[in-house]
Chain A
Amino acid sequence: MSKVMLRHFERAISALAETVVAERQPGGDTSGMLGKSVAQFLMSVHARMPDYLSPLFYVLVLIFNASPLLRKGKFFHQLSLGDRLSELDTWRRSRIEVRRRFVEFYGSLGVFGLYSDLYGTDYTHDQLPTGKRAQSR
C-alpha cells in the first residue's frame, strides 16, 4: 500500500472519529483529545482484524473518504464538520447495504470507544477493575 494511500486512510479514520465524537458530544471535545483517542482505537482495531478483512476495510475507508469528491470536490477528511455529519447521514440512509453497514460498523465502534473513555468508570467495581482483591471486614 502506498504512503499516500496510507496517509489518506489515517486521515479518513481521524475524521470519522472526530465526526462520531461530534455527533455524540456536540461541542464537547474542544481539546480534540476524545477524537484522537477514538481514532487511535479504530486504528488499533483495524490493525488486529483478520488478515483477509483488513485490506477490505482499508479499501472501504478509502472509498468512503473519496465519495464526496464528485459532489463537493473534497475528500471526507477535508470537509467541514457540518458537511461531514451530513455525509455520514447520507451513508446511513443509503439504499446500498454496504454503505449502511459501513457507517454502522465504524459508528458503533467509535461510540463504544468514546463511551469507554467517558463512562468506562461508571461502575465502581471496575474502578478497581474486576481484579483488585476484595478486602474483608
Chain B
Amino acid sequence: MSIVLSIKNVDKTFGGLHALGDINLDIEEGKTHAIIGPNGAGKSTLLNCCIGRLIPDNGTVEFEGKNMIGMQPHEINHAGMVRVFQTPEIFPDLTVLQNVLIPALAKRDGIFKFNPFKSLSAETALEADAVHVLEDMGLGEHIFKHAGSMSRGDKRRLELAMGLVQHPRLLLLDEPTAGMARHDTNRTIDLLKRIKERGMTKIIIEHDMHVVFSLADKISVLAQGRIIASGTPDEIRGDPKVQEAYLGGAEL
C-alpha cells in the first residue's frame, strides 16, 4: 500500500499551550483513517497544519511525496488535499448550486483565470456535475436556495458536496456529521461508504462512535496533543489506554 500523506514529528504550540506534540501519522491510499479524541485534543489543529492554515513549529507534512509546509492553501488544494471544515464554511450569499460550482470552477480553472465574457449558463458540464453531487447528498431540491438560509445539518452536507465535487486525492473531514439528525447522519455514512468504494482516501475526525466504527479502516487516538494509540477498529476498541483517556472507562 502506498502512503498518501505522511506527517512527521509535527509540533505546534499556541503561546504556552502545547496543542500538538511530536505527531507521526501515515495515511494509506484508499483507506479511511479516523482521528478521535476528547475536545481540545488538537484534532482540528492537526488538519489546519496539513492544509496550510497553520504552520507547525516543527516537522513535515508530505503529501504524495511533496512537503506541503510553507505552501499556500490554494496550492495545497490544487495538489489534491481538500478539507471540509468543522464549522460550516460556505458562501452564505450564494445559492446552493453556486456554492458547489465555485469549487468545480476552481478544479477546472486553476488558481486564476480571467474569462469575463464566458457565460455561466453555458457551463452545462460543470453544472451537471454539481447537481449530481448535490443530489447524492440529498440536497437536490434545495439547489436554488440561498445557502445562508439552510439548517446547520444541510450546510454541513453542502460543504461535503463542495469538497466532493473537486474529486480530491485526499479528503479531510472535520466532524462531518456534527449537528445532523440521526437520519441524515446515516445518509452521510452511506454516502461516505460509497465514496470509499471509488477509492478516495479520507481522514475523518468524529466524535460519533457509530460513524467512526462504520467507516474507519484505521483509527488514531489523540489526547492532549499526542497520539496515544493507533490501530484497527478492533485494536482500538480493546485498548485499555484509550478507554481510560478518551472514553472514561465506558464500554464501546
A in complex with B: no
| Residues of B in contact with A (beta carbons under 8 Å apart) | none
